[in-house]
Structure 1
Amino acid sequence: MNAADLLVRCLETEGVEYVFGLPGEELEDLLFALRDSTVQFIPVRHEQGAAFMADVHGRLTGEAGVCLATLGPGATNLLTGVADAHLDKSPLVAITGQGSRERLHKESHQALDIVHTFEPVVKWNTQITDTQSITESVRKAFKLAEYEKPGATHLEFPEDVAAEQVDGEPLPQRERVRRPDPDAGSLTRAADLVAAAERPVVLAGNGAVRTPAAARLAELVEHAGIPVVATYMGKGAVSDRSERSLMTLDSGPNGEASTAIERADCVVAVGYDIAEHDPRSWNPDLDKSIVHVDHEPAEVYTHYNPDVELVADISAVLRDLRGRLDQRDERSWWHDLRERIVDDVRRKPEADEPFSVKGTLPYLREVMADADVLISDVGSHKMAIAQQFPVYEPNTCIVSNGLASMGIAVPGGIAADLAIESNVVVATGDGGFLMNAAEIETATRLGLGYTIVVFNDDDYGLISEKQLENTGDQFGTELTNPDLELFAESFGIESDRPETWAEVETALDEAVPSNEMSLIEIPIP
């Protein structure tokens, strides 16, 4: 076999089901090796879409998603999606082609130093220069991508190496390395801080839904009577049906969740990355004791300087911390805040109210099952979803908030629909939608069926909001759009543009449970 065959056999050993990517001349041997394997190669319409698909696959399954691109512009087009996986802690392995090694020492057609280009946005990457290193390189790429905290890795595969004849066997997978249990001294100090606090709060981050920690977290907060505020990426760590849930930072008509964390005298941060939400916003006066629970030590930051760091398996920490805390049920200081949050997110708009993202979400939540997955693109609608959309199970609301890259929703829907049995809905603005709308063709070619909801305000709305808030004026944000109904129908999918709230309800009720691709455009005045 040639080296490309061996690399693909390694992918099979890693359990890879899909490789999302674009073909290229330098990938010829690798593509034909994929054709003859159990791995399904999915040609997409843009490399950024391929990386977003691998990103969302990794977040939903915990197994590294794989994306593939050729050298030069193919590789650089992957970069945004790879960086998104890096900051959102999503396991991803990127593979890029490269020209023959004999021409890389000089200026050459499409040749760039991709390994160094990728270096800031991956946990590890390498150029495979020796066929004997293939099995180790692939195993290392997957091990590091999937190891907590997960992220992206990258392999560059020159075409002359891919064509070489080779003998070898893939390295077998092993159990993932497990963090140790927490040390008793740190647990005791953390439990003492929480027990002494009058108003403790749990801040649930991305790591609380990414790992199997959610069940342990629910047990802890129920036992200890502690409310939970989630980051945007921590939605669902504790079900929003729980009386302990205050939804996410900034939830509530008057920021009731922020009020709770402002009043807190002790914050237990579980799986929290400061890239998710700047701690300056909830700890501006440095007046809270902080317990850091995560797989890695806390970042050094003035506004996030924990009193105790429990660096260990998150589930084990939560289990042992629960055992050191007395059972209590003190709701007096935060229960009214929850009531106002719940009343706000459940309120449906009056018939004569103009369309809004916030008004749409109660209808969407009503038609989606608990296990259905909502993927949010980035924009003003993301803020409403993060703050107003209740989530009842971990990892059922995918929000990009590390890199916060526009364009993730439509390709992310493809990965989600391939990965799960439940229904998938993607929510996007007109700006983010048209960045990767061509992937609708990929979805229809694969026979997938999910619902795309486009909130259309003919504007980069979130930027306009910020400009108006800061200066009283806006510039450079206005857009024009095609007829999105006709655009959708050109791909052969169902489309709808409701004109009343009753029609919004009907359109969602018909589209979400369906197995067909559909697009619903909601014009936002």
Structure 2
Amino acid sequence: MNASDLLVRCLEGEGVEYVFGVPGEETEDLLFSLRDSKITFVPVRHEQGAAFMANVHGRLTGDAGVCLGTLGPGATNLVTGVADANLDKAPLVAITGQGGLERLHKESHQALDIVGMFGPITKWNTQLNDPDIISESIRKAFKVAEYEKPGATHLEFPEDVAGSETDTTPMDPRERVRLASPDSELLQRTHAFLEEADRPLIIAGNGAVRTDAAARLREFVETTGIPVASTYMGKGTVSDRSPQSLLTLDSGDHQEASDAIEMADLILTVGYDIAEHDPAGWNKGTDTVIVHIDSEPAEVYDAYNPNLELICDLSAALGNLTERMGESETQFDETWYSDLRKHILDDVAADPSGEDPFTVRTVLPVLRDVMGAEDVLISDVGSHKMQIAQNFLTYEPNTCIISNGLASMGISVPGGIAADLAVDAEVVAATGDGGFLMNAAEIETATRVGCGYTILLFTDDDYGLISEKQRAHRGESFGTGLTNPDFMTLAESFGIEGYRPGEWDELEEALRDALATDEMSLVEIPLE
């Protein structure tokens, strides 16, 4: 068959439903093969948006999202979103076109060393320089992207190879590689640490969400009464309704989670990822015992040198520890952290007066009230992300999507498309005016493919997080001011509903109306 047909049949065999991308001359054969397949090709307005869509698809489903760009600038435009997926441990397969093999040994139009460029930002990548390696390469790209810890892979597809013939057939996907069961001796030592502790605490990271360990972690904390502080990407692993939840690390205006960590005499990190959250921010150099429970050994780090590392399937480890603790009937006294939790919740639920201006922090309780527990909030990067991470109560895993590995601006609007296609729930894409205009063109993509989610846009005419840090360091800010279009007119130009509430009672009404519709909508929240 034609090599591009083979590649698409391999994608179908991997269960791919969507390919997000921008068409190019060098991907012509591949595009027409996609047209004749069961896969939906979603043309987007910028390759970065395509990569962010594949990224969020991977985080929400656990199956690699697929993005497509052509050679040269098409491939370079994918880089940020691919790197973001790799550091956020989101499974993603990127495919790029390339010129014919006969011209790649010399300087030629739009030709770059794309495989070399993608090397540092992927788990694995290669050039498909022979049609007979396509089947193996697609299988490897998905296998590597999806096994723990997941990330990005990349395949370069030269145009002359795409148009050639091959007798190769697709490889059958196999059951996904599973992590090993926990070592019994290490489990016993972990249990001994727990039995000796008075004030143990759990730090739940992205890995606890990603590996479906949340259910087991919830059983463990309910059995033992051990409190949990989550990383930004671990939000929802334990419900913030749980009396054991201390919300998130690095809690900004309320430091109770940090206080609890300093009071703890044993810390269990579950799926904790140093790329997401620097341990120097919470480990103050005490002699507290740390047990690292994850799919990979801990990074060598002077601020994070665990006493014990339990490298295994997280769910199995937590299930075993729950059984051991239940048999020993060990239940920890919750009074040492219960007041800290109460202070956090009182702070998060602060009710502004009718004359107070909108702030991200005070808007979040209103948003939480109108969203269901299973609804998905995708946060862009900026000062609003910090408030969402610290103050948006999250009740289920994968319902508050925050990029905190690479932490790239511009993810939420395209990410909303992927989320709306992937989940049967309402989706809200929260963003600031800085990140919004980086990928606002994808609103057209969203309306074209029939998406219906809400964009929550905080506007302050500024790169606010940078201004905050500059003022904290220097007492003033520079280079951060912006001007903006009339966002209600912009919404109208895209054919979507726009809301700009001016009072608190208008805010809740606008949010409820926006979430109630199956159409795209934009709610602008002017900040002072």
Name the TM-score class by shorter chain: over 0.9
Q: Which residue is equivalent to 1:140?
A: 140
Q: Which residue is equivalent to 1:179?
A: 179
Query: What aligned pairs does 1:63-462 form with structure 2 within 5 A after superposition?
Result: 63-251=63-251, 253-325=253-325, 326-462=329-465
Q: Which residue is equivalent to 2:12?
A: 12
Deviates more, 1:194-203 or 1:124-133: 194-203
Contact in 1 for aligned 2:202/2:226 (Cα 8 Å)? yes
Code of the residue aligned with 1:394 in structure 2: it is P
CA distance in 1, matches of 2:474, 2:185: 51
Pairing 1:520–2:491 present: no
Contact in 2 for aligned 1:20/1:41 (Cα 8 Å)? yes
Number of aligned residues: 525
Contact in 2 for aligned 1:293/1:312 (Cα 8 Å)? yes
Pairing 1:47–2:47 present: yes
CA distance in 1, matches of 2:339, 2:229: 15
Q: Which residue is equivalent to 1:473?
A: 476
Contact in 1 for aligned 2:52/2:82 (Cα 8 Å)? yes
CA distance in 2, matches of 1:179, 1:355: 47
Unaligned regions of 5+ residues in structure 1, if any? none
Deviates more, 1:156-165 or 1:344-353: 344-353
How far does residue 238 in structure 1 lie from its aligned partner after superposition? 0.3
Task: Give SS of 1:310's match.
Answer: strand
How far does residue 332 in structure 1 lie from its aligned partner after superposition? 1.4
Task: Give SS of 1:435's match.
Answer: coil
Q: Which residue is equivalent to 1:37?
A: 37
* Cα displacement string for residues 76-132 of structure 1 (whole angstroms, at most 9, x for unaligned residues): 000000000000000000000000011001111000000010001100000011111
Code of the residue aligned with 2:399 in structure 1: it is T
Task: Give SS of 1:125's match.
Answer: strand
Task: Give SS of 1:441's match.
Answer: helix
* Cα displacement string for residues 290-345 of structure 1 (whole angstroms, at most 9, x for unaligned residues): 11111111111011111111100000010111222243141111000101111122
* Cα displacement string for residues 407-428 of structure 1 (whole angstroms, at most 9, x for unaligned residues): 0000000000000110000100
Contact in 2 for aligned 1:251/1:341 (Cα 8 Å)? no
Contact in 1 for aligned 2:180/2:313 (Cα 8 Å)? yes
CA distance in 1, matches of 2:179, 2:451: 38
How far does residue 168 in structure 1 lie from its aligned partner after superposition? 2.1
CA distance in 2, matches of 1:171, 1:513: 44
How far does residue 250 in structure 1 lie from its aligned partner after superposition? 3.0
Code of the residue aligned with 1:2 in structure 2: it is N
Contact in 2 for aligned 1:485/1:495 (Cα 8 Å)? yes
Deviates more, 1:320-329 or 1:343-352: 320-329
Code of the residue aligned with 1:185 in structure 2: it is E
Unaligned regions of 5+ residues in structure 2, if any? none
* Cα displacement string for residues 28-60 of structure 1 (whole angstroms, at most 9, x for unaligned residues): 000000000000000000000000000000000
Contact in 2 for aligned 1:225/1:327 (Cα 8 Å)? no
CA distance in 2, matches of 1:332, 1:316: 29
Contact in 1 for aligned 2:101/2:160 (Cα 8 Å)? yes
Code of the residue aligned with 2:398 in structure 1: it is N
Code of the residue aligned with 2:196 in structure 1: it is A
How far does residue 243 in structure 1 lie from its aligned partner after superposition? 0.2
CA distance in 2, matches of 1:81, 1:139: 22
CA distance in 2, matches of 1:202, 1:55: 27
Task: Give SS of 2:94's match.
Answer: strand
Task: Give SS of 1:31's match.
Answer: helix
How far does residue 253 in structure 1 lie from its aligned partner after superposition? 4.4
Contact in 1 for aligned 2:195/2:330 (Cα 8 Å)? no
Task: Give SS of 2:276's match.
Answer: coil
CA distance in 1, matches of 2:339, 2:284: 24
Contact in 1 for aligned 2:250/2:281 (Cα 8 Å)? no
How far does residue 516 in structure 1 lie from its aligned partner after superposition? 1.1
CA distance in 1, matches of 2:461, 2:265: 44
Contact in 2 for aligned 1:348/1:363 (Cα 8 Å)? no
Code of the residue aligned with 2:364 in structure 1: it is L
Code of the residue aligned with 1:270 in structure 2: it is V
Q: TM-score, normalised on structure 1?
A: 0.99
CA distance in 1, matches of 2:100, 2:469: 48
How far does residue 285 in structure 1 lie from its aligned partner after superposition? 1.4
Kindly tell me: are residues 252 and 82 of structure 1, through their superposed partners in 2, closer, same or farther at Cα, counting changes over 3 Å?
Answer: closer
Deviates more, 1:53-62 or 1:192-201: 192-201
CA distance in 2, matches of 1:477, 1:417: 32
CA distance in 2, matches of 1:70, 1:408: 21
CA distance in 2, matches of 1:86, 1:163: 30
CA distance in 1, matches of 2:507, 2:412: 20
Task: Give SS of 1:247's match.
Answer: strand
CA distance in 1, matches of 2:442, 2:402: 19
Code of the residue aligned with 2:158 in structure 1: it is P
Q: Which residue is equivalent to 2:61?
A: 61
How far does residue 195 in structure 1 lie from its aligned partner after superposition? 2.0
How far does residue 194 in structure 1 lie from its aligned partner after superposition? 2.0
Task: Give SS of 1:375's match.
Answer: strand
Task: Give SS of 2:457's match.
Answer: strand
Contact in 1 for aligned 2:67/2:93 (Cα 8 Å)? yes
CA distance in 1, matches of 2:275, 2:131: 38
Q: Which residue is equivalent to 2:492?
A: 489
